[in-house]
Amino acid sequence: MTKIERKINVLDDKGYVMIHDVLGTDLTVANAARVSYAKKSATLTDGDKRLIDFLAREGHTSPFRHVIAQFEFNAPLMVARQHWKYVVGSSMLEATGDNMDAWNESSRRYVTEEPTFYVPQPYEWRSAPENSKQGSGDIVRFEIGESATSALIQHVDVCIKLYEDAISSGICAEQARLFLPAYGMYVKYYWTASLQSVCHFLNQRLAHDSQVEIQMYAKAVLELIKPHFPISVEKLVSETSE
């Protein structure tokens, strides 16, 4: 693995994505494919680039599972749980054989420091979409957003007080956390995945109709991963997703 540390803030001063390690390069992808013919390139050539294009275009995905990246996220639970679906899904997709995802998350069973929460600013609240049961529409009027932000802050403050009181009274952390509002609470986790898995996530969550908050995390992942595998990412991530 190549040890690196680069961090991009997301949403506010608490949310972020950090890339820690990568294993392999675009050349690794090409050589993983060429091994079928007992061939190997010492440096990335134009022929290797054409091979990567062919692999991506024709859906020959196994060579992209020989390169790995490790990320650290700090994200609201509503984002983390959407992201988690890709780990579950990749482990069950026998057709692709891609079970090279790992996920480790901080737990409120053990962690008792002050919880943090994502609170949208008054100009960030979105309306319900007109023609869909999910997703969101345009930004609501400022006064509506201002009221929502104020109410959410008050709600979080009350819940944190109840949580801290429970801890102080001797209730165990794994039960005291029931007082915390879940969806906006920040959770920290590590995600280690093959390049194929990362690009599948990007294609899904960079799409214009995905939830805005997870789109922002996906944009950070794209910015962090692309310098390490520029050819492969260009070929695997659709233009409509970027």
- d(Cα 205, Cα 195) in Å, to the nearest integer? 15
What pLDDT was estimated at residue 131?
A: 76
Mean pLDDT, residues 51-72 taken together = 94
Asked if 82 and 215 count as a contact pair (C-beta separation under 8 A), the reply is no
- The pair of structure tokens assigned to 95 is 């057709």
Among 3.40.50.1980, 3.40.50.300, 3.40.50.150, 3.30.1360.170, name the CATH number for the domain at 2-110+185-241.
3.30.1360.170
Helix axes 46-58, 26-34, angle to 10 degrees: 80
Asked if 115 and 163 count as a contact pair (C-beta separation under 8 A), the reply is yes
- Is the pLDDT reported for residue 97 higher than 60? no
- Is the pLDDT reported for residue 142 higher than 80? yes
Task: Kindly report whether the global pTM for this prediction surpasses the value 0.85.
Answer: yes
What pLDDT was estimated at residue 92?
A: 47
Asked if 106 and 77 count as a contact pair (C-beta separation under 8 A), the reply is no
Is residue 167 classed as helix, strand or coil in its secondary structure?
helix
Question: Residue 122 — pLDDT band, cuts 50, 70, 90?
Answer: very high
What is the torsional sign of CA 189, 194, 197, 199?
positive
Torsion-angle region of residue 135: left (phi > 0), alpha (psi -120 to 50) or beta? Answer: left
Alpha helix (H) ranges present in 45-141?
A: 46-58, 77-92
Mean pLDDT, residues 67-82 taken together = 94
- Is the pLDDT reported for residue 241 higher than 80? no
Residue-wise pLDDT tens digits, 166-215? 999 999 998 999 999 988 999 999 999 999 999 999 999 999 888 999 99
What pLDDT was estimated at residue 209?
A: 85
Question: Residue 48 — pLDDT band, cuts 50, 70, 90?
Answer: very high
Residue-wise pLDDT tens digits, 223-235? 999 999 999 999 9
- Is the pLDDT reported for residue 93 higher than 70? no
* Whole-Å CA distances, 110 to 65, 159, 172: 34, 19, 9
What pLDDT was estimated at residue 98?
A: 47
